[in-house]
Copies of this chain bind each other. A is one copy, B any other.
Amino acid sequence: MKHLTNWIYGVIGMITITSLSPLAASADEGMWLFNNPPKQLLKERYDFAPGDDWYLHLQRSSVRFNSGGSGSFVSADGLVMTNHHVGADCLQKLSTKERDMIELGFCAKTPEEEVRCMDLELNVLQSIEDVTGKINAAVTPGMSSAEANQARRAAMNTVEKESLDATGFRSDVVTLYHGGLYHLYRFKKYTDVRLVFAPEKAIAFFGGDPDNFEFPRYDLDICFFRVYENDKPAKIEHYLKWSPQGAGDGELVFVSGHPGRTDRLDTMTHIEFLRDKTFPNAMRKLFRREVVLTAYSAESRENARRAQDDLFGIQNSRKARMGMLAGLQDPSIMGRKQAEEDKLRKAVQENPGKFKEPIGDPWSEVAKALETWDGIYYDQDLLENAAAFNSKLFHIARTLVRLADESAVPNAKRLREYRESNLESLKFELFSEAPTYEDMEVVTLADSLTMLVEMKGMNDPLVQKVLAGRSPREQAARLIEGTKLKSVEARKELAQAGAEALRKSEDSMIQLALLVDAPSREVRKVYEEQIEEPMRQAYAKLADARFKIYGTAVYPDATFTLRLAFGLVKGFEEAGQQVPPFTTFAGLYERATEQGNQYPFELPQRWLKRKGKLDLDTPFNFVSTADIIGGNSGSPVVNRNGQLVGIIFDGNIQSLILDFIYTEEQARAVSVHSAAILEALRKVYTADRLAKELLGDRTKGQSKTKR
């Protein structure tokens, strides 16, 4: 469920609607905006009508992990809970050959032992402002698609900069309904984030890849951090109270988190494009990367440690995408999508009175843009998405090169990631002390250069320049050997040196980044001006059509921004069997035994030793009908009283198609139960300081950090 960040993929969020009926009144569907929550629906369906303060409290208790995931405040002293697999990015970076924090886990016995993460930024949504008018005003009739794209970008960059200057908050314009609305999100930002607690991977990810996206499930997929300000635990007004008894069968629960991306209201040609182009291309890369990193990992325990978080991300993404592709290749699902589209087309045709002007044929406009995309798809992926240069050091080099060039350009004209309001976050990541491993870099870069040759051909002029007369393996080794970018000092020097000096640099990776920058920018320009902008305009018309036909209480597709979902704790039927909604600790031990206690079903020693202390009937994991997707990992699950009853960490295999269609027949969100977390912290980890803090008794554990 890890949200794999990829800017191209990320910005193509599409318009979404719940179903063909006005409101999703027949289902627990929806990833709702906090400034437009499903009040009527909750009232009608569950007789639940909380005040605005209920929503605001949940909103401000929710935390976005910019490494890709969700979380929540769970104490007044800045304690944040997320998934282990979300925290793993930080754990990986803090680990060394001698101390593998992913494998061994971590527990700070005192506040002093809490360890600062290298480059973890957390965001907390403060407010949402509708700036649709401002953004759309920049685009005037008669503008070419290229002009419109530039004008829109200028407006967005400017709005964000003004908001940052005025409020000091991180300010991002979020494109909703792919252009139907533009909202300005203001976030409080935390960059001093310290690790408090992580269990061993063997229990956090018990069952490994085989049990991933499956249920029944037995994972303690949690991790605790604390945000600091001025070297002290931050004082937090909005945090979630812990429910020791947790979620019950049939209970209504809410999920507040950051779904990364959905494609529910793509046109059929667009969905077919995902099926025929996007997913197969992504799978091919994932397959080869998984094989290459698995082979690298098998060479030694240290290699395995170095690669483990990347490999987890790849395997997780592979299993998720195989499930999604299976859905896209399923005629019954595609038939449902086709019926939805046919119905909307018909409704538009039959209700011309609802539109001031004829909307034309936005479906064909999307199809036309996709045709253009088809022509540049692989180039965009290889060059601009850097699939051909699978190296952290290349990513750094490109950022340095572009930072120099973009800084010389007025804010309004910059590539989005280099806009003024984003520079602090960008540099926070760029100057991270996170380790890079040269041997692993050579392996991944060599493989991706091999793929570049396969895809563009050995005689392609750019390929020739990139390889410089060497084989991909040789050139990869030379590129990694010839760069100083492992050193943060070297990066800082280059960042200050400016574009001129960069061009003269003899650093091999800077030279490579310079070499591919022009063709990369070229393909990006085509994408933004000839594909993204026309699609934005076409989808805006489709969004408008849906609003007019079905009403306005609809939610947009996921955009890795805060959303509210809801649903019932509820089992499901699979292969004729009823799967109960809860598992227990007892089930965990049974599963381990049944699998011979062998990896990835091998329990940590401490879990074997302390089995006798545990209440084995404690509910461990549970499922609900809440509407989630990748990026929701770590989202708090709360009850009507806003108390934390669990934490999302996965969806079952049937939920993978939620990318493009909601169903609650079998699809379920999977959570760790709040009672299990408490029980494990107390009995297995004797982490009393933490358990007390969660329950609000902070007099002892936090005495040293009182302000």
Q: Closest Cβ of chain B: how far from A387's Cβ, in Å?
A: 15
User: With the chains together, A283 CA to B458 CA distance in Å?
Assistant: 17
Q: When A280-B454, A329-B453, A471-B326 are in contact, do A294 and B295 touch as well, CB less than 8 Å? A: no
Using Cβ atoms and an 8 Å threshold, which residues of chain B touch A470? 330-331
A450 at the interface (CB under 8 A from B): yes
A330 to B, closest residue via Cβ: B471
CB of A609 within 8 Å of the partner chain: no
A131 to B: closest C-beta gap in Å: 41
Q: Is the CB of A287 within 8 A of B276?
A: no
Alpha-carbon separation in the docked complex, A330 to B472 (Å): 7
Q: How many copies altogether?
A: 2
B596 A295 Cβ-Cβ under 8 A: no
Does A142 sit within 8 A of B, measured CB to CB?
no
Stretch at the interface among A257-265, A297-305, A489-497: A297-305
Select which of B300, B325, B330, B474 is within 8 A of A330 by beta carbon: B474
Inter-subunit contact B457/A276 (CB<8 Å): yes
Nearest B residue to A211, CB-CB: B299
User: What string of 1s and 0s marks CB contacts (under 8 Å) between A252-294 and chain B?
Assistant: 0000000000000000000010011000100110111011001
Tell me the bound Cα distance from A283 to B455 in angstroms: 13
A208 at the interface (CB under 8 A from B): yes
Decide if A701 is an interface residue (CB 8 Å cutoff).
no
Inter-chain CA distance A458–B458, complex, in Å, is: 31
Residue interface bits A315-330, CB-to-B below 8 A is 1, else 0: 0001100100111011
Using A287-B291, A330-B471 as known contacts, say yes or no to A298 and B600 having CB atoms under 8 A apart. Answer: yes
Q: Are A299 and B210 in contact (CB under 8 A)?
A: yes
- A288 and B298 contact, CB distance less than 8 A: no
A327: nearest chain-B partner, CB-CB: B471
Chain B residues in 8 Å Cβ range of A298 = 208-210, 600
Asked if A36 is an interface residue, CB under 8 A from chain B, the answer is no
Which residues from chain B contact A208 at a C-beta distance below 8 Å? 298
Query: Which A436-478 residues sit within 8 Å CB-CB of chain B?
Result: 450, 453-454, 457-458, 467, 469-474
A699 beta carbon closer than 8 Å to chain B? no
Task: Annotate A613-647 by CB proximity to B: 1 below 8 A, 0 otherwise.
Answer: 00000000000000000000000000000000000
Q: Are A469 and B209 closer than 8 Å at their CB atoms?
A: no
Which one of B276, B295, B467, B596 lies within 8 Å of A331 (CB-CB)? Answer: B467
Tell me the complex Cα distance, A472–B276, Å: 14
Does A167 count as interface, using CB distance less than 8 angstroms?
Answer: no
Point out the residue from B329, B474, B600 that lies within 8 Å of A472, measured CB to CB: B329
Given A210-B298, A595-B300, A326 contacting B291 (CB threshold 8 A):
no
Residues 568-601 of A contacting B (Cβ, < 8 Å) = 595-596, 598, 600
Closest to A325 in B: B450
**A458/B329 in contact, CB under 8 A:** yes
Q: Quick one: which of A294, A301, A318, A322 has the most chain B CB within 10 A?
A: A322
**Besides A208-B298, A286-B291, A291-B291, 6 other CB < 8 A contacts?**
A210-B295, A284-B287, A287-B287, A287-B290, A326-B450, A330-B470
**18 A-B residue contacts at CB 8 Å?**
A276-B454, A283-B288, A284-B284, A287-B287, A287-B288, A287-B291, A290-B291, A294-B294, A295-B319, A298-B600, A301-B598, A322-B450, A325-B450, A326-B450, A326-B473, A327-B471, A329-B453, A329-B458
